[in-house]
Amino acid sequence: MFISLVADKNSLPQNIIELAEALAEDYPIAFAGQGTKVTFNKIEADGIAFKVAKNSDGFVIDYNCTAACARGIASALAGICCEESTPMNSVGAMLDVSRGMVMKVDRVKKYLRRMAMSGCNLLLLYAEDVYEVPGEPFFGRHRGAYTMAELKELDAYAGKVGIELVGCIQTLGHMEQLLRWSNVYSNVMDTGRELLAESPETYKLIEKILDFWSEALTSRRLHIGMDETQSLGRGKYLTLNGYKNPFEILGRHLEKVNALCLERGLKPMIWSDMYFRFNNPEHNYYDYNNPLPANLKKDIPSNVSLVYWDYYHQEEEIFEKMIMRHREIGFEPIVASGVWTWATLWHNHHATKSTVPACVNACRRENIKELFFTMWGDDGAYCNYDSLFFGFIFAMEQVFCGGIGDNAAFKARYEAIMKGSFEAADIASHFVDMDFICSLMIWDDPLLNIYYDQTEKTFGTEHMDKSIGFYAEMAENLKPYADEFESGDFGHLINILNLLSQKMIFVSKLKKAYYAKDIKGIKEAKELLVQLMECVRKFDASFRRQWMRTAKVHGLERIQLRNSGLLGRLEETERRLTEYLTGEIAEIAELERPETGELNSACNLYAHVASGAAKC
């Protein structure tokens, strides 16, 4: 168990007093009473640097900034004496609150404390439309949008723990949540995703957006997005203006939005991908061969920061090549890696540990000064977000230890920060080791089996059968931690695992029996449905429990609709099996499919597996 720290308030600067007071909400830190004495010394050093040492009275923490002090406190609480540093001036996280999950204010504060203890001094809040813009009542409508007061409260709190809170929004693409209200926003709509560039009405709307964020947060930096706009200029813009080079449309739009930012004293940053994608016919971001246009350097305003995002590569040389590509056009990139929270019910540590070290090592070697880790929520933000800290703290160990971190130190610091079991989190970190998107395996239609068929074809029947035992064994190993939830709701994870194994047992048994015309086997599969439906109900209940602990209620309905839809389809499956077994129907049409032919590999969203229809 970690120790209690007591500091002399009279000897501390105001920023460290505020840090300690905020951290004391969760951690045993005090200015009086019993405990181990801790002394703080401010030092001069580049980047973020600290040292924790013991003396006859307790601990001495030398630090050069608030983030370094916070990581030093976490180390002292964990009983770790160390000297660590990173050449980066800014390191942190990006939390996605736009994909259905808008985190409660108090929960964001808890995450700010945890992130500060990890050594973080930056948090970007990715909010496409979930903020209340005056005069625009459809921003975040039915989505749990943040108010101005809520964001100001978070901004002030972030400052207390030494974290710069930066808005991360969109001013061109990824605007489908707002543009769904097409009767209201038809005058600013190019496609269903992109705003109408070069339209006066579009810039009036963007001015309101910029005014909001300029007032909401202290930081003058603002991430204005502009990524993944492959359809730019091909909707209403094309009708109004004819075909124009999307490179040129993007450039003119950025020039205009940048000018609006400068008028408000804002320092914009954008995702850099489209300046690379529009340079090749495949729209490939990671293109190292096609020469970049000679005029690209002057086309991008010099005050705009480019953010190079890469969550996928595992080779350091690829990160180095892309960093150099940004430098070729005259920009020192901010780099964004990923702690994988998207398309998974639990943090995907396999993907995180496969990609983060390569990125961090390349950044350290190339002397990158800003790095953050994205935490996306694609397809419903259904990840258990407390579980992400196993990946985030792992990533911060790479940042501060240069890829040569001590696993014992990682364990001790993790338990000090999370106040939860490292062993449980370590067991859970293998959740996705079977290479399946487990959420899709759960929500896959139980008769059509779109995702099951795809994964079986990819990995083989033996691998599918092995996974059943894998999930069942993990659920058994996690039983002692069923009531723990600080570092992840392990009771919920047990329900996920039980549902996964039972669903796959049912589907495997039904498919084998049906294609063998084994009536007894089909009856046995039908008898499994009662238990399987109970597993769905338990999963639904624990999902709601962990969601309500973390997020505003809006967005929960999307997942509850999926779960109730699965229950409804299981009931229909029972009816269909009964009809077949009684001779009412000669075949189960949903199970009849050609034995040959390639399956479509594009099964990575709920909509792809819930129905055979492209849109439900």
- CA torsion 354-355-356-357 (nearest 10°) is 70
* Structure tokens that stand for 401 in this block: 């230890």
Mean pLDDT of the chain: 95
CATH for 5-86, among 3.30.70, 1.10.3470, 3.30.160, 1.20.272? 3.30.160
Q: CA–CA distance from 603 to each of 4, 123, 127, 396, 614 (Å)? A: 49, 32, 26, 32, 11
Q: Return the pLDDT at 614.
A: 72
Q: CATH second-level architecture of 90-419?
A: Alpha-Beta Barrel (3.20)
Measured CA to CA in angstroms, residue 23 lies from 32, 43, 161, 398 at distances of: 15, 22, 8, 23
Could you state, in order of their start, the residue ranges of all structural domains in the chain? Answer: 5-86, 90-419, 438-609
What pairing do the DSSP bridges indicate for beta strands 221-223 and 164-168? parallel
Q: How many residues does the chain have?
A: 616
Q: What are the DSSP E strand ranges found in 55-121? A: 58-63, 82-86, 90-96
For residue 409, report the phi and psi dihedrals to the nearest 5 degrees.
Answer: -70, -40
Integer Cα distance of 475 and 496 in angstroms: 9
Please give the Cα distance from 466 to 117 (Å, whole number). 39
Matching fold, domains 5-86 and 90-419: no
CATH number for the domain formed by residue range(s) 438-609: 1.20.120.670
DSSP strand pairing (82-86 vs 48-54): antiparallel
Q: Which residues of the chain have pLDDT under 70?
A: 1-2, 403-405, 594-602, 615-616
* Spatial CB neighbours of 263, under 8 Å, sequence gap ≥ 6: none
Residue 1: per-residue pLDDT: 45
CA atoms within 13 A on the CB side of 287: 18
pLDDT of 292: 86
Q: Exposed e or buried b for every residue in 242-253, given b needs 16+ CB within 10 A?
A: eebebbebbbeb
pLDDT at residue 261, rounded to an integer: 98
